[in-house]
Structure 1
Amino acid sequence: MPVTVKEPAAGTGPGPGGRKTGPQRRRRGGIARLGPLPWIGPAVLLIVVVVLWPIYELIRTSFLNVSISGFVRGSAGTEKYRQLFDESGFGSVLTMTVVWTVAVVGVTMLVSLGLAQLFNKPFPGRTVTRWALIAPWAASVLMTAIGFRWMLDQTAGVLNTLMTDLGLIDGPKDWLGDPATAWPWMMFVAVFVSLPFTTYTLLAGLQTIPHEVYEAARIDGANARQTYWRVTVPLLRPAFLVGFVINLINVFNSFPIIWGMTQGGPGSDTATTTVFMYQLKSTDIGESAAMSVVNFAMVVVLVLIFLKVSRWNKEDA
């Protein structure tokens, strides 16, 4: 008896490769057609509003004549940039910003690496010391800076009182009034408040290294020094890069510490580019915006150079 095969209606059967066509395929619509956009859309919108739009406004303002009261008086072209580069203190501020960043980030990374390795080892009171390290991070940076400013005060500061009583100095010293002593103290405070984050970042990196790797190195005959440089350091590299880059950005743009301790004075002798930008705001908003653009470009270049040199996206051979 012949078997009758019923053909599927046109446009309803599976198409090439088993894909459905016709009405069944047309049912996919609405949100499905948008793909991942509903999920990433809010994040993209937030980035546009919070990051990209302010950058655009900053660059636009740097080419305008803006009064102190905030009224736009027309275009200034590149005049604000010429004024900025002609400022008498611009070169020294730029130099001290680089010195400040290199010194604070370098010391922070070295001390944090030592502390992270210490906290990774068992010792009596380790839990207490780990919690104690959070204190500089938990406190307000501005509050910490003001606290050190009071401690270093020339007339009522506890440091002058203590050192005078011990006979270490003949009389009260203006620690923050002289750039030669103000810079080391501000760098000390910057390292002090940067240590917790960097230490815990490196500690987390150390704790992700499998114990089996160290056991294999010991079986292969590697001594402690060889194990550290050939096992610990390469595996700690991702955490080190995270800590370094975030510290680089934070320290370069640091404002509360310097403003809270010296306000960049006397003049601009203890100012970085971020503080110098704020000082310019009181006299010329357009020039201050130009300094902000230069500051932003500098930090982007510094980060890109470091990432290029460190080959952050390359796997070790």
Structure 2
Amino acid sequence: MRSRGTGVATPVPRAGAARRIRSALAPLLWIGPAIVLIAVVVLWPVVEMVRTSLLKISSSGLTLGSRGAQNYTDLFSEGDLVDVMLRTLVWVVGVVVATMVLSLGLAQLLNARFPGRRVVRWAVIVPWAASVLMTSLIWKWMLDNYFGVVNEVLVDLGVIDKPVNWLAHPTQAMLWMMWVAVFVSLPFASFVILAGLQTVPGEVYEAARVDGAGTFRTYFQITLPLLRPALLIASIINVINVFNSFPIIWAMTQGGPGHATDTTTTFMYKIAFFDQNVGESAAMAVVNFALILVLVLLYLRASRWREEVS
């Protein structure tokens, strides 16, 4: 179109383009609140964590200036860091693997039909619904070398000759804490796998029986592959929860004696509140965050590799 008297073409607004823009922005009305929530609850704390790891902060919380990478230098010069990180890896892998293996069996039991199944399901939820701190304290009292029921039972059964102070020995303490972590992780993983089992069509099992497949073949070639999404979700959430598990270790041993039962989470806490070094503790938090991401990505890669192979 030409404007009168000038002979210059003037653009005409196109209604179609405006409609396309409106249709493209319309989903933001629905996902906008979720994006804002994620930004405030997830992204902003991560940014602040990284920023804090580059600052010098007093014990009262005052920022005293920038330290650059010095907090990371101080962290990696800590003599106990390597042992703590290796112990954390053993802690996470041991607890998650034991939890997933036991959860598979427990989910199969909960999926079976038997009298009182609903009551059993309710009972299984209890360790997960209860406070992790209180569960840890109860187990600490049960393991007491003078009045604990664990020593009393083991002595009565003749397994040990005299009461043992289980939590005073680092290896034994770690094994007991790993058991408590498995105990509180079992319900969630079991119910996620149970939900996966209930989505498997019954016709698949009927077809397997017609083809002459036995129980073990049916389980490993049909049930487990169909449970892959549930196993993936349960494993990833367990990795994150166990990696960041603070109440169990702190309630039972406080990472002691010394740093002998510390993981990166309790080690980070001690740097912040015992050594009064907030910046270095934030650097440990960044490293912790990176380690979780690496573990999750490795697990996802391994799961994708198994899926391609199968």
- Using structure 1 for the length normalisation, give the TM-score: 0.87
- Residue 144 (structure 1) shift: 0.3
Q: Please give the root-mean-square deviation of Cα atoms over the aligned residues, in Å.
A: 2.5
**1:143 partner letter:** M
Structure 1 match to 2:38: 47
1:216 match: 207
Q: Are the structure 2 counterparts of residues 137 and 23 from structure 1 closer, same or farther at C-alpha, using a change threshold of 3 Å?
A: same
Matched to 1:296, the amino acid is: F
Moved more, 28-37 or 214-223: 28-37
**Correspondence 1:7-86 to 2 at 5 A:** 34-86=25-77
Per-residue CA shift, 1:220-276, capped at 9, x if unaligned? 222222221221111111111111111111111111111111111111111110111
Q: 1:281 touches 1:288 (CA, 8 Å); kept in 2?
A: yes
Q: Where does 1:285-304 land on structure 2 (aligned, <5 Å)?
A: 285-304=278-297
Q: What's 1:17 paired with?
A: none
CA deviation map 1:134-166 (0-9, x unaligned): 110110111100111111223333333444555
Please state how far the C-alpha of 1:123 moved relative to its aligned partner.
2.2
Q: Secondary structure at the match of 1:311?
A: helix
Match of 1:228 in 2: 219
* Counterpart residue number, 2:263: 272
Per-residue CA deviations over 1:174-212 (Å, capped at 9, x if unaligned) read: 211211210111011000000001011111111110011
The one-letter code of the counterpart of 1:158 is V
Cα distance in 2, alignment partners of residues 303 and 27 from structure 1: 42
Residue 313 of structure 1 and its aligned partner are, at CA, apart by 11
Could you tell me which of 84, 88, 91 is aligned with 1:100? Answer: 91
Counterpart in the other structure of 2:233: 242
1:13-59 deviation line (CA, Å, top 9, x unaligned)? xxxxxxxx989879969976731111111111111111111101100
Q: Per the alignment, in what secondary structure is the counterpart of residue 145 of structure 2? A: coil
How far the C-alpha of 1:80 sits from its partner, in A, is 0.9
Which whole-Å CA distance do the structure 2 matches of 1:61 and 1:77 have between them?
Answer: 10
- Equivalent residue pairs, number: 298
Q: Which consecutive residues of structure 2, in runs of 5 or more, have no partner in the other structure? A: 2-11
The DSSP-based 3-state class of the residue aligned with 1:74 is strand
- Aligned twin of 1:113: 104
Per-residue deviation at 1:119? Answer: 1.7
Q: Does 1:135 align with 2:92?
A: no
Does 2:309 match 1:309? no
Query: What is the SS of the residue equivalent to 1:176?
Result: helix
Tell me the alpha carbon deviations over residues 111-134 of structure 1, each in whole angstroms, 9 at most, x when there is no partner. Answer: 000111122222233222111101
Could you state the TM-score of these two structures normalised by the residue count of structure 2? Answer: 0.88
Q: 1:241, 1:312 within 8 Å by CA — same for their partners in 2?
A: no
> Which residue matches 2:242?
251
